[in-house]
Chains A and B, each alone.
Chain A
Amino acid sequence: MKGWVMLNKTILVCDDDEGILDMLEIVLEDAGYHVIVVSNSLKIYEAIDKQKPDLVLLDLWMPVLSGDQVLRTLRKNPETDKLPVIIISASREGKHIADEAGANGFIAKPFDLDQLVNDVQKLAS
Chain B
Amino acid sequence: MKIILYLKKNFSTTLDNFNKGEFSFSEGTIEQDLNLLVRALNASISGIILTDNRQPDNPIIYCNSAFEKISGYKRRDIIGHNCRFLQKDDRNQRQRLQLREAIEKGISCVVEIRNYKKDGTLFWNELYMSPIKDEKGNVNYFIGVQNDITRRKKAELELRSNNELMERRIEERTQSLKESEDYLASIVQTVRESLIVLDKDFRVLSVNEHFLKVFKVNKEETEGKMLYDLGNRQWDIPLLRELLENILPTNNPVEEFEVEHDFPHIGKKLMLLNAHRIELEGQFKDRILLAIEDITDRREIERRKDDFLSIASHELKTPLTTIKGYVQMMQRIIPKDAEEKFRSLLNKTSVYIERLNHLIAELLDVSKIQTGNIELHKEVFDFDKMVHETVEHIQSATKTHQIVVKGSATNSFSGDESNIIQVVNNLLSNAIKYSPDEKEVVVYLSKVSDYLKLSVTDFGMGISMENQKRIFERFYRVGEIQQQFPGMGIGLYVCEQVIKNHGGSLWVESEPGKGSTFSFTLPLNERVGNAE
Contact A19 B310 (CB under 8 A): no
- A9–B361 Cα distance when bound, in Å, is 34
Segment at the interface with B among A35-43, A49-57, A72-80, A105-113: A105-113
- Asked if A81 CB lies within 8 Å of chain B CBs, one says no
How many contacts between A and B, using CB within 8 angstroms? 87
- A30–B331 Cα distance when bound, in Å, is 13
Using an 8 Å CB-CB cutoff, how does the interface string of B344-369 with A read, 1 for contact, 0 for none? 00000000010001000100000000
Given known A20-B321, A23-B322, A90-B314, contact A112–B421 (CB-CB < 8 A):
no
B-side interface mostly:
helix
Given known A23-B325, A112-B396, contact A90–B313 (CB-CB < 8 A):
yes
A-side interface mostly:
helix
Name, among A90, A94, A112, the residue most crowded by chain B CB atoms within 10 Å (CB to CB).
Answer: A90
Q: Give the Cβ gap from A115 to chain B, nearest Cβ, in Å.
A: 5
Given known A96-B417, A110-B357, contact A90–B318 (CB-CB < 8 A):
yes
Q: Which residues does chain B contribute within 8 Å of A94, judged by CB atoms?
A: 418
| Residue in chain B with minimal CB distance to A93 | B418
Q: Which residues does chain A contribute within 8 Å of B417, judged by CB atoms?
A: 95-96, 99
Among B322, B375, B397, which residue has its beta carbon within 8 angstroms of that of A20?
B322
Contact A93 B396 (CB under 8 A): no
Among A93, A109, A113, which residue has its beta carbon within 8 angstroms of that of B318?
A109
- Asked if B234 CB lies within 8 Å of chain A CBs, one says no
Among B317, B324, B329, B393, which residue has its beta carbon within 8 angstroms of that of A30?
B329
Contact A115 B397 (CB under 8 A): yes
- A11–B326 Cα distance when bound, in Å, is 19
- A23–B328 Cα distance when bound, in Å, is 11
Q: Give the Cβ gap from B123 to chain A, nearest Cβ, in Å.
A: 97
Given known A90-B313, A90-B318, contact A112–B397 (CB-CB < 8 A):
yes
* Range, interface on chain A: 20 to 34
Among A17, A24, A91, A96, which residue has its beta carbon within 8 angstroms of that of B377?
A96
Q: Which residues does chain A contribute within 8 Å of B326, judged by CB atoms?
A: 23, 26
Contact B329 A90 (CB under 8 A): no
| Residue in chain B with minimal CB distance to A122 | B392
Contact B319 A19 (CB under 8 A): yes
Q: Which residues does chain B contribute within 8 Å of A17, judged by CB atoms?
A: 318-319, 322
- Asked if B216 CB lies within 8 Å of chain A CBs, one says no
Contact A19 B396 (CB under 8 A): no
- Asked if B422 CB lies within 8 Å of chain A CBs, one says yes
Contact B421 A95 (CB under 8 A): yes
- Asked if B332 CB lies within 8 Å of chain A CBs, one says yes
Contact B396 A27 (CB under 8 A): no
Residue pairs across A and B with Cβ atoms less than 8 A apart, 14 shown, are A2-B333, A17-B318, A23-B326, A23-B329, A24-B325, A27-B325, A91-B313, A93-B377, A111-B324, A112-B393, A113-B325, A113-B328, A115-B396, A118-B396
Chain A residues with a Cβ under 8 A of chain B: 1-2, 17, 19-20, 22-24, 26-27, 30, 61, 90-96, 99, 109-115, 118
Known: A19-B322, A20-B325. 15 other contacts (CB 8 A): A17-B318, A24-B325, A26-B325, A26-B329, A90-B321, A93-B377, A96-B377, A96-B416, A109-B317, A109-B318, A110-B353, A112-B324, A112-B397, A114-B397, A115-B397
